[in-house]
Amino acid sequence: MPVCAPWPCFPMRIEQRQFNLLAIAALVALASHLTRLPLWLSIPLIAIAPLSMWSRRHREKPVSAWLRIPLVALLVFAIYSNYGSIFGREPGSALACGLLMLKVLESEKVRDAKAAIAFAAFVLMSALLFTQTMSFTLVVCLSLSLLLAALNALQPAPIRSRHPFGRELRTGALLLGFGLPLAIGAFLFVPRLGSPLWGAPGAFDVARTGLSESMAPGSMTELLIDDSPALRVHFESKVPPNSARYFRALVLWDFDGRTWSRDSWPQQTQEEISSTTQLISYTVTLEPTNQPWLAALDVPLDTPPLSRMSRDRSLFARNNVDQLRQYRTRSALGYVLAASLHAADRNRALRLPKDFNPKTHALAERWRSEGRADSAIVDAALQLFNASFTYSLTPPLLGRNSVDEFLFETRTGYCEHFSSAFVVMMRSAGIPARVVTGYQGGWWNELGDYLLVRQSDAHAWSEVWLEGRGWVRVDPTASVNPERIELGASASTSNGSWSAGSWLLDLRNRLDVVNRMWTQTIVQFNALRQKSLLTPFGKAEAEHSDLLLALSLIVAVFLIVTTLWVLRTGTVRRGDGLDAAWRGLQQRLTRHGMPMRLDEGPIDYLKRVRPALDKTAVARDFERLLRDYVDLRYARVNLSDADIQAFARKIRELKLPRVVKSHQQSAEPRI
């Protein structure tokens, strides 16, 4: 019967166990967004779940609408104030998370709980708009099984086992497994948009980890300790050695005394390249960066489709790379770039701000006054680095004259410190120079036949212009720490010793082939590839009607197989927990020689077997048990777990006698 109190009556009020499972499921859905939610929002939302569980256990009165409505208004106002809008990927997901937890707060009826679970599934799905990695997708699937377990717990209560939570989890996992074939079929054959949902305009308004268009001391620290993949490269011919794996991304020309920035001058024709040797063709799969630059092996010769090449041979996409970008190009490892330097380029490559780094200027001018050639000045700077400098990812902070402090005081830094100081020295000596940022090194995956380059392989080096040789790559970091170039970024920071971190990174590198397969088969599955699914069946380009027909066939086959499996494994169990207990009693009665006829109800059955039971000691208990079933089944509107468990316990405690076979024979249905 309805559960009522001095406040309005709430029929079909969920039990504490069901509410706890609902709150946990909502908390798991919220957890998929925690890394992106602001702290002021995530802490209160997390607190709602345990507080509501505790409050419901100690107070039966539901949360008043006078409290819930202001909380919704406060949530909308706070999100609008923080994001400037309630529409879009970031504010929309934050609003959905807040509304989900507020929905849990008001869930008192089965209907409300089911709506909350459905909304939790939507919140969980929206997390895939931010990342589609294989590991995160698997976590989402596991979380979905918890939501299915919570939904199953809201069904008419079965006889509870000793471990109801584990039982619900097993059921949720089973339901998820049954749904996977249909989900795969829908993924393959439901007609999709020209680009994935996560590639829609405005979906990537937030910055991604990656190289920046500027460089200052300390700006690359977080990048150099980030081991997430940056790009994967498949070579069509011989793989270049580690020392030649310089992937050019940005060329930085302008220096304001502290920060290097990209050339903002109007684009002209590309710098001429000649005497090219060691040509290499390769395909790059670039991770999303929300930046337009494209990495290419130094130095690129071809411009991929839907991209352009700047004057300094840097590649840029027409739009920001907000989803995986795959492109093919060629590069030359041996080359002469800009054999004759344009006057405007020379002026830009020599420009330095006034009143900065006087000691560095004095040192470079002294080298020049000694009559040294350009190549000799380059060698002198490299020898200076090699003599007394240290490579470290945790260098001291630098002040206004950052290059002076680095060269003459701290003498500790990493690639951006060395490349910046080197270029300033070259310009002070009258040698055109510029900074180049990109990636260097990478890990060769033999199983997948590709080079894996991580964000931690980010690197900065220098280019100087020498008469007759053009722009020449000079990496001052190699003079200080050769292991960084020959063995990679991980070797340069671990001093060649074994560590748990390096071992784990090596394992992740080996397993990255799985991530690459996931990226190629799942994340990059677009409308164009979908149209070619039916090619093996003679359909070169499938239309929407063809895809829907294939999906219908898959659904039909699935239903047929499921039906045959159900028929083969036995009768489907029907009804709620009370029916299950009643069937158990019927089985016991049959084993004791008192089967119930198919056309016989509990009362008629009791009348028939009462003469035989009157001679036993359990007659009164048996009669009370059958009348309890009639009361529970036909006189109650709602059943609680306690009622069902009490009835099942009485069945287990009932001691049935062995009666004469005449009752078993008379139990046959009459026709």
For every residue of 47-70, DSSP letters joined together read: HHHHHHHHHHHH--SPPPHHHHHH
Identify the active-site residue in 361, 417, 459, 663.
459
Catalytic residue among 33, 475, 512, 663: 475
- Catalytic residue, chosen from 415, 417, 457, 663, is 415
Tokens 């969920």 label which residue? 14
Maximum CA extent, the chain: 127
Cβ atoms of 24 and 143 within 8 Å: the answer is: no
CA distance 223 to 516: 21
φ, ψ at 588 (rounded to 5°): -65, -40
Query: Does the annotation mark 4 as catalytic?
Result: no
The answer to whether 433 and 423 have CB atoms below 8 angstroms apart is yes
CA pair distance 345, 267, nearest whole angstrom: 12
Amino acid at 590: T
Active site residue 475: yes
Partners of 93 in the β-ladder: none
Distance (Å, whole) CA 641 – CA 473: 76
Which 8-state DSSP code applies to residue 446? T
**Which DSSP symbol is given to 3?**
B
Active-site residue, 58 included? no
Q: Are 479 and 419 in contact (CB under 8 A)?
A: no
Token code pair at residue 132: 């589609």
- How far apart (Å, rounded) are the C-alpha atoms in residues 318 and 469? 32
CA distances (Å), origin 244, targets 441, 451, 463, 488: 8, 13, 15, 12
Whether 31 and 136 have beta carbons less than 8 Å apart is answered as: no
Q: How many CA atoms lie within 13 A of 171 on its CB side?
A: 17
Question: Which phi and psi angles does 572 have, rounded to 5°?
Answer: -70, 135
The SS3 assignment for 365 reads: helix
Exposed/middle/buried for residue 399 (C-beta within 10 Å: 0-12, 13-18, 19+)? exposed
- Token output for 282: 């390769």
Contact call for residues 424 and 255 (beta carbons, < 8 A) = yes
247: left (phi over 0), alpha (psi -120 to 50) or beta: beta
Overall residue count recorded for the chain in this entry: 671
Looking at the annotation, which residues are catalytic?
415, 459, 475
